[in-house]
């Protein structure tokens, strides 16, 4: 049984989309193993997005991700890592297909950068690393 880390990002919490995102998770049959609401901290965000820390837009990512409370949790289910990524849609909401969470709910990038509703681990290695980072062993 696979596990993945999911985040319902602060834009989604502010826009009252939490229920609709969780509804999609449950309709798909994934199990919510852990879930909590918290404002993400810079120290762990730097580790979470370690591959992006050198990008010029990194501070816009952390400002966005710390702009309010987020929902963070662990999903389990067969093939959940790829399935959840497929349900999320493309990183840039302008390119995300209709029917995906980002394609249905996210707005196109503006001066605040990319605000795209949800996060999901992108591989087994990322999932293991991210779950340990936010929830411990
Ligand atoms: P992902 O969330 O689809 O896995 P990543 O490339 O891992 O996409 O990027 C992580 C997050 O960083 C994105 O979801 C988005 O919030 C932000 N991000 C990625 N690329 C850009 C960019 O070019 N400009 C602004 N923000 C970006
Ligand atoms: Mg990613």
Q: How far apart are the C-alpha atoms of 121 and 80, rounded to whole Å?
A: 10
| In the predicted structure, residue 112 carries a pLDDT above the cut 90 | no
Taking CB atoms and a 6 Å cutoff, what residues make up the pocket around ligand 1? 49, 52, 57, 60-61, 91, 113-114, 116, 119, 122
pLDDT at 31: 98
In angstroms, the CA 5 to CA 52 distance is 18
Whether 123 shows a pLDDT value over 90: the answer reads yes
pTM above 0.75, yes or no: yes
Is pLDDT above 90 for 67? Answer: yes
Q: Are 21 and 12 in contact (CB under 8 A)?
A: yes
CA-nearest residue for atom 1, ligand 1, is: 91
pLDDT at 107: 87
Q: Which pLDDT tens digit goes with each residue over 41-54?
A: 999 999 999 999 99
Joined together, the tokens standing for residue 92 give 């840039």
Q: What is the mean pLDDT of residues 88-108?
A: 96
- Domains of the chain (ranges; CATH) run 2-135 (3.30.70.141)
């Amino acid at each position: 049984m696979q596990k993945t880390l999911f985040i319902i990002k602060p834009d989604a919490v502010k826009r009252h989309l939490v229920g609709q995102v969780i509804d999609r998770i449950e309709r798909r049959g994934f199990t919510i193993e852990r879930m909590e609401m918290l404002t993400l901290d810079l120290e762990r965000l730097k580790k979470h997005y370690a591959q992006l820390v050198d990008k010029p837009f990194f501070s816009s990512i952390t400002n966005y991700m710390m702009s309010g409370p987020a929902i963070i949790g662990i999903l389990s289910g067969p093939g959940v890592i790829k399935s959840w990524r497929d349900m999320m849609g493309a990183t840039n909401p302008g390119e995300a297909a209709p029917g995906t969470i980002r394609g249905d709910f996210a707005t196109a990038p503006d001066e605040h950068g990319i605000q795209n509703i949800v996060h999901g681990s992108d591989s087994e290695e990322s999932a293991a690393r991210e779950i340990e980072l936010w929830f411990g062993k």
